[in-house]
Amino acid sequence: MSVTSTGNSSLDNISSSYQSNEQGKTQKEEALGRDSFLTMLVAQLQHQDPLNPMDGSDFSAQLAQFSQLEQLINLNDSMDSLGKSLSQNSEGDVVGYIGKQVTGDVDIMNVDKGTVSGGFYNLAQPADIMITVADADGKTIKILYEGQQNAGSHIISWDGTDNSGNAVADGSYKYTVMANAGYGYTQVPSSVTGKVEGVAYNDGKPYLVVQGVLLDPKSLTAVVDAEDNNGSGSGDSALSYLGKTISSDSPIVLVEDGIVSGKELTFSLDSQQDVALKIYDAFGELVRTITLSADDMTGGENKVQWDGLADTGYKVSDGLYYYTVKTDSGVAKTPLSEEVSGIKYMNSTQYLVLNDTGRLVAISSIKGIN
């Protein structure tokens, strides 16, 4: 809207001042808003009888009314913004998921201060694996060739660098897993099921923490009250593993009462190589890095003792931990094949206890039964 006046410098000043304040604002259709009010006020002043001009008190009253109208409109805009904010917060109220059993699709890895968390996939059968990592613009920055992998759950070991070896910026990165089981490469959907243990924020966005994986609430495919399951949903299947020998590539380390349960952390090497064994907590945070020289390694099975200390020198908190082993040529395997001697309940989730090592194994990560 354009407001003009002629022959009256005061009106010209009011009009120009109002027009400058209008710039950059979104115009709204109003029955009688500020535009219409000011138009009527200027027109009234332009056409007043010069022999009987408007009384100054009347003019002041109308200006006061205009000021009140402006404040009401601003208040209405503020209420609209507040309503939208509350609506968005209610949609993203992830706190209500804590304690519930959820299933969701996962395709995000997060980089924080150079540390990568999240990222895994499940295979129904052995396959050759290739993983692409893309930034927020959808540009592929890294291609990981995992080689032949067995059926089961696998953690993606990405060091947070691009194809040129440069460290990427902190943030969220989307990954795509392609598997070739002999019929060409097809995309492997990755999903996680478990109890929501907490909420973590990355770049101001909330994520659900499920089995150490950050899960976007928008990716949920199922939500069940944990009380409805009470850990009994998989009780029969867990009991059925007792006395049987199972195989898994994803051993879990339990720290209880400050003590690391079980024996040494094991992994396999094809040849002597320098090793960086990294230990993560259930939230995917790196707590300890143990570096080992190739001179101390052997081809085949290797063992490393962990005293339960973090890199800070302090004892880690009680809970579940997992580890990955990086070498000069890639990622080493962490295979276990042992008899199940018991069932451990942690956070309403059942884990199988392996007899000799004392390691825990999630039922979903079992890749073989003897």
pLDDT digits (tens, 9 = 90+) for 98-151: 888 777 777 888 888 888 877 777 777 788 999 999 988 889 999 999 888 887
pLDDT in tens, 305-325: 999 999 999 999 888 899 999
Q: What are the CA-CA distances from residue 198 to residues 96, 194, 209, 246, 286 (Å)?
A: 10, 12, 5, 30, 17
DSSP E strands in 39-107: the ranges are 100-105
User: H or E stretch including 325?
Assistant: strand 319-327
Contact 353, 344 (CB under 8 A): yes
Give the closest residue to 131 by CA, choosing from 117, 141, 146.
Answer: 146
* Pairwise CA distance, residues 277 & 314, whole Å: 18
Query: Of 325, 363, 328, 331, whose CA–CA distance to 344 is shortest?
Result: 363
Q: What is the pTM of this model?
A: 0.41
Share of the chain above pLDDT 90, in %: 15
Are 117 and 109 spatial neighbours (Cβ–Cβ below 8 Å)?
A: yes
Q: Which of 40, 45, 38 is nearest to 66 (CA)?
A: 38
Kind and range of the H or E run holding 354: strand 349-354
| Contact call for residues 117 and 101 (beta carbons, < 8 A) | no
Predicted confidence at residue 48, as pLDDT, reads 67
